[in-house]
Structure 1
Amino acid sequence: SMEPSLSLYPLIITETSLSLLSSLLNLLLLYILRRYLVFHDHLRSLVFQSHLFLLFSNFFVFLRGSFYLLHSSSSSPPQWSNLLCPSDSSPSFFIGQFLLFSIVICVERSYSTVKYDIYEGWTKHTTLIKSITAFWFLSIIFFHLSSLSLSISPISCPSPRLISTPVNDANLPIVIFGVFFLAFIPVFYPNYTKNEETLRAYVKQDYSSLNVRYQLKENTTTCRRFLVQNGLMAVLCLSMLVAFSLMTKEGNFHREIQYLFYPLAGIIISLNWLIFQDSIKRKIWNIYWDGKDALYIHWVNSVHWKKESEVPLLPT
């Protein structure tokens, strides 16, 4: 039966809530990347674009879950078959674009490691902006063409008999993502160690170029963050595949649980930057304290030239 059992509603509520949390975290990260110069222009643009795709993926999952929960009690609820099929759904397309940007980031970080002495002085090239804009334009066209069907998933669902092994048509995207994340680790680890050794030697020899030291420091911290990010994502993919192999073969539940991958991935990746990257963490604190200062200034202005009996209590 393609109608959901009651056991699916807690799962749908969970994935909808997590996708909302993931979207909010991504929005905060995107705001900081857009407003502040926390990275080199090239890296900042690439990270911004990749997280924009990740945001859209989570927003899709949130809308999908909200759509069903809001209409499940109506006289004509949506067909459950139109809400399944993770392997052929739009989030797979968005995460695919995220992986493409990750490959470009690997190349960019490797180049910045090799050319650390001149890379910091480079400014954002118009060619890069035009290339990203063209890529966005083509991606949006492809997405709209693939979504012309009334069904959320334009390609037909895999049959239940294909969902009988940990690696199958339904969870193949997660397998592909896991392989990519594992492949990124041997790229970022040598870059991280190389930058750390170069920075240590550079400081010890008392070179005075702040630009080079800044670039080496950024290379070291960002490569470490990407290394942790890809390790955690590989563990997430492996954990989900193990969970699939241990689950009972209930078709709808088996397919639906895979949508948890997108909000979990968004939360892990966003927190990896928001909590552990010093340049971003400092900006978060600046936003927080600027907000408190603005509140205090507003309170001071509101009590100026008022009698003592009319002075409101200081907001806490």
Structure 2
Amino acid sequence: MIDWTAHRKHREQAIADTGQWVGLLDADGSPLMDLPPVVSMVAPETRNDPGSLELTVLCRSSRGIIHPAVTELVAKQLGVLSPEGKLVPVADQTRFVAIERAGVPRRVYWVTHTVARGDADAPATLTIHGVGLTKLLSRFPAMSAPTTWQQSFKRFERDWVGPENTKVVFSQPRELAGMKMVTVADGATLDGPAEATIRRLITESLAAAFRVAGITKDLPIQVAATPTGRPSPRILLRPTDGPLLEEIAQPAAAAGVIITARMWWPGDPPVTGLALSLPTVVVAVEQAKETP
């Protein structure tokens, strides 16, 4: 368990001493450790774009001590070099990098891959690559019929498409749940003010996905429901069960709607309309003061 009050004081002290706090988070968004000294950082932020991170840190001290971040990001592959002579990163666990500075919102990035440089058994630097939290929306479909997604799973050893006598089976059995997809021609359309309509599609798609997964409380990603009250142009959304972020990005940009995602931690100011107690990615959908 994390003492969030103590950790907040620790982060504030790091910011006072060095200007920023940079830490590695686990799959649940909880801090694992402070990252070692930063060599370089590139982290641009653009409206309605997930943004990217390229962070290089020292991971070997002058006495040859390896920072534990290496264990989290590359340890399973230590000693295995790519054809280019670089250590191959671990890719089977979710990790995040958080950056805090005084007077600005916390920025958190989903780690995509890490490059270690140095000796095969003792890397000297880690270059961590990541994307902004809005990219997490690409892991969910923009559901055309979210209420039809079922919670009951059945085991399938073969694809039901095609004749049974073909004997085409999956290499590994799969657990599948039933759902319906409404084609564009069928007219699955959401109509209304852009801010409210985009917020509704995100909320319903996330809720259905977590319901199917059996997650009914403390959802790891939630949508702030408070409207801005600004005039928002009318749009039509026709979800086609494609990646959620890709389906809403262009209509949002055209309507002047800004989509952001931030990591909320215990001790942060409360989010109106949400009862949060654990680390949570909070998605905000807000009409800009001026449309494009």
TM-score (norm 1): 0.23
TM-score (norm 2): 0.24
Greater strand share, structure number? 2
Higher relative contact order (CA 8 A, sep 6+): 1
Greater helix share, structure number? 1
Work out which of the two has the higher radius of gyration on C-alpha atoms and give 1 or 2.
1
